[in-house]
Structure 1
């Protein structure tokens, strides 16, 4: 596991080498995740999935699983954090493909969870919103599409002029 730091040196980003396992990922399955934010420190919890894009912890619903249960399970699998769905304060649905619940909690110690069979996260960080914007503009963090939408819908009140929160729509 390697630890990198943001441009200001205040946000540790922990990344382990991603070793892909041969399994089939279907993008058409519904996803559920949790947008976890610490308002006192202005930090958001992000994970890197399968060595590529970053976003809040999320994953695919198992057959018959409720969205809230999936979101809680994915946070545990990817971050090791125990959370309760009773603490979710709002949610944003994205084209009936994904749902992100919003949760505020204090920043705490986190590690990439190794040894979890279904965990495909290989990077993790609590990052300040200003540092995130810098990391995105520097090309060090690339947000996944759903994360861009979630940031826009859940955090637009904090970043009305931040162009990195704008979702780029494909023209038909």
Structure 2
């Protein structure tokens, strides 16, 4: 009897469908399988899928990308188990040339291919279907990350000014876990409540990219109003379109409903350290995704 793939535990992988102007898409050729597909690879232990997608594209093609809207995941048999691959639309951050790419034992070729030709060149029907979906989401977007601060000390155990209440150890770990996830969306503007628990949530990322934290009193628990929060959110959205760089807004549970209302979204009731990545094009929300890095 033939072996039946086990469905008890999937192999997890991530990748990106990367576009560049001229309606070209990035494909890789694997000598081992003699196939053409999108760059992708397995998650490292404890690695977030978005981080793995960026890492695998760079390892397989030499190109650094930022992630756009998410795409449907693929799930298919892989040896004696199943494999799930998470995908995003990707866009190269800097030079997109692959002329100097050197083939290796894993990836024997990297090409920018016109999308019409790619539909024929791709080996697997699942990838052709994914390309068709990605074409509908390929227009440039920018990410506004709505971030609830990481897990802080309980109010009941803190005797000082509540604005100075710090993160717990698990919260500090969450803050470090956020670093590669925020980087995957090319977040460059860091707006935050001045409360210590919000500052500590974004400080590891700010130090990693050498950016300043922008203190926004209007999104503190004490000062937030519907109008004030809406003005802050509108300013961030407008800035995304101007600078073409991602942004993050870190605030508190009681303030988050006002933030999501300003974006025209339902409040998802985020857990401590959790985020919603809001993909916008010309000020309009085109996709959202929700992540708890760890």
Alignment TM class, shorter chain as reference: 0.5 to 0.7
Whose radius of gyration is greater, 1 or 2?
Answer: 2
| 2-structure distance, mates of 1:74, 1:63 | 14
Shift of residue 152, structure 1, vs aligned partner: 3.2
| 1-structure distance, mates of 2:58, 2:46 | 19
Q: Please report the TM-score for the alignment, with normalisation by the length of structure 1.
A: 0.58
**Which residue number in structure 2 is paired with residue 164 of structure 1?**
none
Greater RCO between the two (CA within 8 Å, min separation 6)? 1
Structure 2 counterparts to residues 26-105 of structure 1, below 5 A? 28-38=10-20, 40-51=21-32, 52-84=34-66, 87-95=67-75, 97-105=84-92
Shift of residue 71, structure 1, vs aligned partner: 0.7
CA contact (8 A) 1:112 1:122 kept: no
**Which residue number in structure 2 is paired with residue 120 of structure 1?**
106
Shift of residue 113, structure 1, vs aligned partner: 4.4
SS of the equivalent of 2:47 reads coil
User: CA 1:36/1:68 → structure 2, altered by over 3 Å: closer, same or farther?
Assistant: same
CA contact (8 A) 1:33 1:71 kept: yes
Shift of residue 34, structure 1, vs aligned partner: 0.7
User: CA 1:157/1:64 → structure 2, altered by over 3 Å: closer, same or farther?
Assistant: closer
What stretches of structure 1 of length at least 5 have no aligned partner?
1-27, 159-172
Figure out how many residues of one structure are paired with residues of the other and give that number.
119
SS of the equivalent of 2:19 reads strand
CA contact (8 A) 2:69 2:137 kept: no
Structure 2 counterparts to residues 86-165 of structure 1, below 5 A? 87-95=67-75, 97-105=84-92, 108-110=96-98, 111-113=100-102, 120-133=106-119, 136=120, 141-155=121-135
CA contact (8 A) 1:112 1:121 kept: no
What stretches of structure 2 of length at least 5 have no aligned partner?
1-9, 76-82, 139-294
The runs of 4+ residues in structure 1 deviating greater than 4 Å are none
| 2-structure distance, mates of 1:145, 1:130 | 15
Superposition RMSD in Å: 2.8
| 1-structure distance, mates of 2:95, 2:113 | 10
**Which residue number in structure 1 is paired with residue 235 of structure 2?**
none
| 2-structure distance, mates of 1:131, 1:91 | 21
SS of the equivalent of 1:30 reads strand
Shift of residue 98, structure 1, vs aligned partner: 1.0
CA contact (8 A) 1:45 1:56 kept: yes
**Which residue number in structure 1 is paired with residue 178 of structure 2?**
none
Cα deviation per residue 1:62-111 (whole Å; 9 max; x = unaligned)?
A: 12111011111111111111223xx4233322247111110234882114
